[in-house]
Amino acid sequence: MSDLRALRADFPILSREVNGKPLVYLDSAATTQKPQSVLDAMNSYYENSNANVHRGAHTLAVEATDLYESARTKVAAFIGTSPSQLAFTRGTTTAINHIAYGWGLHHLSEGDKILLTIMEHHANIVPWQLVAKYTGAELVYLDLDDDFGVDTSELDKVLDERVKIVSFSGMSNVTGALGPIDVLSKAAASVGAISVLDAAQLVPHTNVDVEALGVDFLAFSSHKMLGPTGIGALWGRADRLEEMEPAEGGGEMINVVERHASTWAPVPHKFEAGTPPIAEAVGFGAAVDYLSAVGMDNVVAHERSITAYALDRLSEVPDLTIYGPKDVSKRGGAVSFELGDIHPHDIATILDQDGIAVRAGHHCARPLMKYLEIPATARASFYLYNVPEEVDLLVESLHKARGIFGLV
């Protein structure tokens, strides 16, 4: 196992206790913990350089603008693109809404189709439902195959010129399954549709070279990759960003404002109305610095080995069912499971007494839960700071839960 154990010291929260036990944080798919360097960068921004960005002539405004724009450069470089193609947003959800309102509303009409997969997060469903409602377009879903992957074998049946948008996840936050990026981006291009990649789980956990993925748009969140909440990014192909309307208007995103009409600032600023989350951008930049210093190849290797270990250990627990691929080359580190008839919320409560943080519920993917015919799952998810002993504690606590519920 590529040993990143020493990194744990960089995360202050990992040394706290919960219910008298050392914290075992297994909820990184929901949000990740932050290293000291991210906290320091944000603090230092407020202590030394706080000012509003752009068009300010004073020293602090220049410093704040430089910090904000250099964060953009760092985040763009992290996914292999140029800062001119990366707009800061509030997160993945907002980025997808920008595409829905800025592109979808203007390019779809009655009878058009938006193709999704059944494993999508609500963030990649509800914005398209709104587009469908306003334009008369229709949502179409791809189901899953036997191994929790998206079933693309019936793609021909749903793919035609009426499909204008294909939007899908690169990695499920429920099953951990990787999305068929290559197949779906090519399928979209073949009918002249745009492809949108929900990379909320992908960018934090894989090495992404966005220009090579073949998609038109990509969305991700800082808080799922060691950065602060309140910021994320929208990447788009240069021509797509040009043809996209701003979904929000206000200060910062304009060129000239007249009484009755305005012109927009160039991409990407035309998508950043209002004062942006500056400290958060700085923190986001520090987070990608941290990940780059560790090396995404090391992060991937570490997560694969700890996920393999977790799948192995969990399969020893009687009555436990895993919902997701068993092959670690087809998945990331979000592991959903059920344990006999113990409801996931009861599992989460019992684990919490042992200081173990897992998530229970529908994980913002209700259509997927309905499709899998389960009301909820418990989910353990791993990141670079997790160690195998934490998996052992999880398994031990699950045995305890079986005892409490009298499963034998």
Partner 1 sequence: MAGLDELYREVILDHYRNPRRKGTLSGDHVHAEGNNPSCGDEFFLDLLVEDGVVVDAAMLGQGCSISQASGSMMMDAIVGQSVDDIQDLAGKFRIMMTIDEGENPVDEERPGSVLGDLEALQGVRKFPVRIKCADLAWTTLAQALDQTAS
**Least CB distance from residue 362 to partner 1, whole Å?**
5
Smaller CB separation from partner 1, 99 or 380 = 380
Smaller CB separation from ligand PLP, 124 or 386 = 124
For residue 38, CA distances in Å to 280, 340, 381 come to 9, 41, 21
Catalytic residue among 254, 301, 364, 407: 364
81 binds, among ligand PLP, partner 1, none (CB under 5 to 8 A by kind): none
Strand 320-323 with 334-339, pairing: antiparallel
Q: Which two tokens stand for residue 290?
A: 């941290």
Measure the CA–CA gap between 131 and 4, rounded to whole angstroms: 44
- Contact residues for partner 1, defined by CB under 8 A: 341-346, 349-350, 353, 360-362, 366, 369, 375-376, 404-406
Which residue, chain included where needed, has tokens 């002249």? 192
343 binds, among partner 1, ligand PLP, none (CB under 5 to 8 A by kind): partner 1
**Least CB distance from residue 34 to ligand PLP, whole Å?**
15
**Least CB distance from residue 370 to partner 1, whole Å?**
11
405 binds, among partner 1, ligand PLP, none (CB under 5 to 8 A by kind): partner 1
91 binds, among partner 1, ligand PLP, none (CB under 5 to 8 A by kind): ligand PLP
For residue 193, CA distances in Å to 82, 108, 187, 398 come to 24, 11, 8, 46
User: For this structure, is 308 an active site residue?
Assistant: no
Measure the CA–CA gap between 96 and 296, rounded to whole angstroms: 25
Q: Side-chain half-sphere of 359: how many Cα atoms within 13 Å?
A: 19
**Least CB distance from residue 22 to ligand PLP, whole Å?**
26
Smaller CB separation from partner 1, 87 or 348 = 348
Measure the CA–CA gap between 267 and 237, rounded to whole angstroms: 11
Q: What is the dihedral of CA 351, 39, 79, 379, to 10 degrees?
A: 10
Q: For 48-82, b where at least 16 C-beta lie within 10 A, e where not — what string?
A: ebebbbbeeeeeebebbbebbeebbebbbebbebe
For residue 359, CA distances in Å to 172, 322, 347 come to 15, 14, 9
28 binds, among partner 1, ligand PLP, none (CB under 5 to 8 A by kind): none
Beta strands in 331-393 (DSSP E): 334-339, 356-357, 359-361, 377-381
What amino acid positions are annotated as catalytic residues? 364
